[in-house]
Amino acid sequence: MSLDTHLDTKALEELEKQYDSALNTRSNGPRLTGFIYWASIAFALYHLWTAGFGTPVDHVHMGIHLAGLFLFIFVGFPLIRSARSLEWRGPNPLRPGNVPLYDWALTGFSMAAALFLWVSWRGFDMFGFDIAEQALRQGNPSSLDVFFGSVLILTVLEIARRTIGFVLPLIILVFMVYALFGPYMPAQILKHPGVNWQQFVNNMYFPSEGIFGVTLWVVSTVVFHFVLFGVVAQRMGLGQFFVDNAMIMAGRYTGGPAKVSVVSSAFFGTISGSSIANTVSTGSLTIPNMKKMGYPGHFAGGVEAAASAGGQITPPIMGAASFLMAEYLEVPYTTIVIAAIVPAMMHYIGVISIVHFTAKKLGLTAYPKEQLPKFLAVWKDGWYTIVPLIALLLVLFSGYSPNMAAFIGLSLCVVVGFCAFDKPATLLVPLALLGFIFWKASPYSGEGYTPVMAGMLAALTFIGCLHRNERQSFRDLFDSFHVGVQYALAVGAASAAVGIVVGVINTTGVGFRLGFMVTGGAEDMATAIAPLLDWTSIGAFSQPSIQQFLSLVLIAMACILMGAGLPTTALYIMLVAVATPALSQLGVPPLATHMFVLYYGVISEITPPVCASAYAAAGIAGSNPFRTGLNAFTLGLGKLMVPMVFVYAPTMLIVLPEHFTLLSFTQVTVTCAAGVFAIATAVSAYFLAPLSGIWRLLMAIGGLLLVAPSGGSDLTALVVMAPVLVQQLGQQRKLQTETAR
């Protein structure tokens, strides 16, 4: 396959560091760098072990996870990021390992605060402190609880600021001020009795809500493992296997490189928790080839960014948000996956349609046949890379816990990528995995594998050792673990910090107050607008309908603004806590509510001015970053509209029996897809022939009417678009006649 990648691996790593702050850490000198490297390996191995053999109780496990985050972030991320603060400036007693003494102090205090609950859970009497067991201190924290709780709250905010910037900590500070100064709020609806600092620390520090709540628990037991799996699987070769298969599937069609970008990003999104990593990994191959084929650089970068951001809503992993959603809604994980299938398809239909019509307008062709990889060759060389993913999905969809699925997936990544019969010492890993599988199938392990599951996993383990491709070294594996931990730092810091928002909402009930404010504001606007539209006698223009629509628009705008620059899991946690009460008041089903806020939160990743994945794509394309971001947003129009559809017509989500019928599902899905397709023609200004002026506007209006889940709007859309179809057929014949001459 003759591909022009333009950028070597080193350049791509530097580009990813530039736009993903989690990878851009300071140089610590050889000794401390080595210590942190091996500490991160130990951190990854601890999580791998607990996934397979059992997780300690919540306050112990979350304390260890949080202590690791504090160590890696305070050592690796400077107080103020600059080129000077990141570079190694030689030995200095005031900066051991290039880390200022105040950061070492923050590291010590924060780690002690994270682990103090573990130490004091059963109480102790030493050093002049008589601490009762935690159950007796709940609601009446000791002086040490208040001290360490205060340290934890402040340092959690600081690690969130250092990893993802000021936006999230500032939002959290607003919530903290609200909790502490409730009686002094200017609006009557926002006033509440308030809490003092001691009670605030009690609510934020002790488990069950606040920092040690469900958010950090899910991230430390599930999300971390899937981030790690995505990095190890991609570096093992699964990412390249996805790209090669995308070339086979889409490269032979009009505008081949751009369609390859969409398909490969969709594949890659199934294992990746980072849209930036997705953009850089697949974009390094697809963006240069799009430009070479004739696409403008800003459009090529926009295609890659929009497609990569779709990975966060693509089952089965959805940027790890799916696991949190299952936990919050208390439904099986498979319910979330099934519900997410059709909405994700609508996003990709929108992107690939715009790509197709833009290629038609520019006169672009497919890849030359000789440049396309051969199906048999690709599968002969790369079949083994998909074995861990098959095992992971097999365990996941058989009803076992997500962390058990991640354990099996990661273990098989090690077997497939690093163990071989010609390296006898490495065979200890597959033998140990086989021992684990058969132990889990025995009666001694409690609720373990069924004989059929054990047999399938054993077969996959054996098959994973058989391929003849070159294995990587265990140093490469450790490097993958190290990078995986780096990726997980921002997610972990953000989830711990967002726990404060969740705690404040549970303490003060502000979520419901904000819900009333949103619906109240929408009601005021609807009262002003409805009389102007009374003459239409259309139900959709009645005051209640207008109020509901405006409420949804306001919530969507808030989600996009609040989600700017946040990792998928963090933005989902925060937006659900804030927006769910408002949507519940509108009668939206809980599952549709959670999907709604996730979609609009993820849209922030391709919405200028904060759209890091689009800026990373612009770095590869050599294009204007803002213009690339605008193109990415335009290409993601399907993702912008679909949440409105499944809120008004939850039948699209399939799994809600009170809303689902085959007829309604078919009608809503088919017309939505047709509407997204029609809007794509208006955006790209091409259908059967070039579209311009009034014809383009009519296609946009018709597309919006088709997307709206109503039989009446569908019929109106057909009437609106019929003249366009007639004009396009005439224009197509005219062009064909001119070409024939």
pLDDT at residue 2, as a whole number: 39
Distance CA 158, CA 73 (A): 10
SS (H, E, C) 600-615: HHHHHHHECCECHHHH
| pLDDT per position as a tens digit, 281-302 | 777 777 887 887 778 888 888 8
pLDDT at 445 > cutoff 50: yes
Classify 32 as helix, strand or coil.
Answer: helix
pLDDT at 4 > cutoff 50: no
206 vs 470, higher pLDDT: 206
pLDDT at residue 103, as a whole number: 94
Instruction: Identify the burial level of 536 via C-beta atoms within 10 angstroms of its C-beta, where 0-12 means exposed, 13-18 middle and 19 or more buried.
Output: exposed
DSSP class of 125? E
Residue 432: pLDDT band with limits 50, 70, 90 = very high
Residue 152: pLDDT band with limits 50, 70, 90 = very high
pLDDT at 8 > cutoff 60: no
pLDDT at residue 23, as a whole number: 66
Task: Give the mean model confidence (pLDDT) for residues 167-176.
Answer: 89
Q: Name which of 96, 81, 116 is nearest 30 in CA terms.
A: 96
DSSP class of 690? B
DSSP class of 166? S
| pLDDT per position as a tens digit, 354-364 | 888 888 888 87
Q: Is 587 left (phi over 0), alpha (psi -120 to 50) or beta?
A: left
Pairing of strands 124-126, 129-131: antiparallel
pLDDT at residue 273, as a whole number: 60
722 vs 615, higher pLDDT: 722
pLDDT at residue 529, as a whole number: 83
Q: Name which of 458, 402, 399 is nearest 47 in CA terms.
A: 402
pLDDT at 90 > cutoff 90: no
Q: Which amino acid is at 48?
A: L
Classify 129 as helix, strand or coil.
Answer: strand
pLDDT at 435 > cutoff 80: yes
| pLDDT per position as a tens digit, 26-82 | 888 889 999 999 999 999 999 999 998 889 998 899 999 999 999 999 999 998 888
Contact assessment for residue 209 and residue 203, using Cβ atoms and an 8 Å cutoff: yes
Q: Please state, as a whole number, how many other Cβ atoms lie within 10 Å of the Cβ of residue 245.
A: 20
pLDDT at residue 17, as a whole number: 63
Distance CA 122, CA 133 (A): 4
Distance CA 572, CA 318 (A): 11
Percentage above 70 pLDDT, the chain: 93
Domain limits, the chain: 12-215, 656-741
Task: Give the mean model confidence (pLDDT) for residues 385-413.
Answer: 89
Q: Please state, as a whole number, how many other Cβ atoms lie within 10 Å of the Cβ of residue 575.
A: 26
Lowest mean pLDDT among 30-34, 427-431, 576-580: 576-580
Please name the residues in contact with 475: beta carbons below 8 A apart, sequence gap of 6 or more.
Answer: none
Q: Please state, as a whole number, how many other Cβ atoms lie within 10 Å of the Cβ of residue 374.
A: 11
Distances 438 to 54, 135, 443, 448 between C-alpha atoms, Å: 17, 40, 10, 9
pLDDT at residue 535, as a whole number: 64
Residue 565: pLDDT band with limits 50, 70, 90 = low
SS (H, E, C) 109-149: HHHHHHHHHHHHCCCEEECCEEECCHHHHCCCCCHHHHHHH
Find tokens 């047709």 and name the residue: 674
pLDDT at residue 5, as a whole number: 39
User: ∠234-238-241 over CA atoms, to 5°?
Assistant: 135
Distance CA 675, CA 342 (A): 14
Distance CA 254, CA 256 (A): 5
Distance CA 686, CA 706 (A): 19
DSSP class of 448? -
Give the pair of three-digit tokens for residue 694.
Answer: 């009034």
Contact assessment for residue 606 and residue 306, using Cβ atoms and an 8 Å cutoff: yes
pLDDT at 371 > cutoff 80: no
Find tokens 């997780």 and name the residue: 55
Q: What is the pTM of this model?
A: 0.85
Most confident of the ranges 1-5, 80-84, 402-406: 402-406
Question: What secondary structure does DSSP assign to 67-115, as a single string?
Answer: HHHHHHHHHHS-SS--HHHHS-----TTSGGG--HHHHHHHHHHHHHHH
Cα 573 off chain centre by:
11
pLDDT at 625 > cutoff 60: yes
Contact assessment for residue 354 and residue 635, using Cβ atoms and an 8 Å cutoff: yes
Percentage above 90 pLDDT, the chain: 23
Contact assessment for residue 346 and residue 673, using Cβ atoms and an 8 Å cutoff: yes
283 vs 649, higher pLDDT: 649
Q: What's the mean per-residue pLDDT of the chain?
A: 84
Radius of gyration of the chain (CA): 27
Q: Name which of 269, 268, 273, 276 is nearest 240 in CA terms.
A: 268
User: ∠104-109-112 over CA atoms, to 5°?
Assistant: 125
Contact assessment for residue 418 and residue 409, using Cβ atoms and an 8 Å cutoff: no
pLDDT at residue 146, as a whole number: 93
Residue 192: pLDDT band with limits 50, 70, 90 = confident
pLDDT at 6 > cutoff 50: no
Asked whether the bond before 609 is cis by omega within 30 degrees of 0, the reply is yes
Task: Give the mean model confidence (pLDDT) for residues 540-559.
Answer: 81
pLDDT at residue 380, as a whole number: 86
Output phi, psi for 126, to 5 deg: -160, 160
Distance CA 650, CA 656 (A): 7
| pLDDT per position as a tens digit, 498-511 | 889 888 888 887 77
